[in-house]
């Protein structure tokens, strides 16, 4: 019976911490049934029960996924559709993306490495 208490205690603490920080980071207008501040008080005062109440009654519901015939942008491109030459194209940015793309940086680096040249 002692091992059961040793298991329930850490689980309830983890649940309490999760529920408290979930309620804390939830926007106030999305909290259900009670104001956000009152949910934080309920979770803090009623340790295991407040956390469970938050998860079932206070937590914002996720929007239902809308099923459509058109694929989302993440689904539209597959690995098979990628062309390696797309990644070799220069960017439209006037500035280099990284230091190894900047010729002036490479010249200064060469001078620092070998100042005699």
Backbone angles phi, psi at 105, to 5 degrees: -60, -45
Q: Give pLDDT tens digits for 55-85.
A: 898 888 776 555 555 555 555 656 666 666 6
DSSP string spanning 35-46? Answer: -HHHHHHHHHHS
Q: Give pLDDT tens digits for 8-60.
A: 888 899 999 999 999 999 888 888 899 989 999 999 999 889 999 998 988 88
Given a contact cutoff of 8 angstroms between Cβ atoms, the answer to whether 25 and 19 are in contact is no
Greater confidence (49 vs 95) lies with 49
Across 2-6, 22-26, 59-63, 107-111, the highest mean pLDDT is recorded for 22-26
Q: What torsion do the CA atoms of 98, 102, 108, 109 make, to the nearest 10 degrees? A: 40
Helices 2-25 and 36-45 pack at an angle, to 10 degrees, of 160
């Amino acid at each position: 019976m002692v091992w059961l208490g040793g298991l329930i205690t850490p689980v309830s603490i983890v649940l309490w911490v999760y529920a408290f920080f979930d309620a804390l980071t939830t926007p106030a207008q999305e909290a259900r049934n009670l104001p956000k501040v009152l949910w934080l008080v309920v979770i803090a005062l009623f340790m295991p029960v407040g956390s469970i109440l938050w998860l079932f009654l206070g937590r914002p519901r996720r929007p239902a996924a809308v099923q459509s015939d058109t694929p989302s942008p993440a689904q539209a491109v597959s690995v098979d559709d990628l062309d390696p030459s797309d990644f070799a194209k220069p960017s439209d940015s006037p500035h280099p993306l990284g230091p190894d793309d900047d010729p002036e940086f490479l010249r200064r680096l060469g001078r620092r490495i070998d100042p005699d040249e």
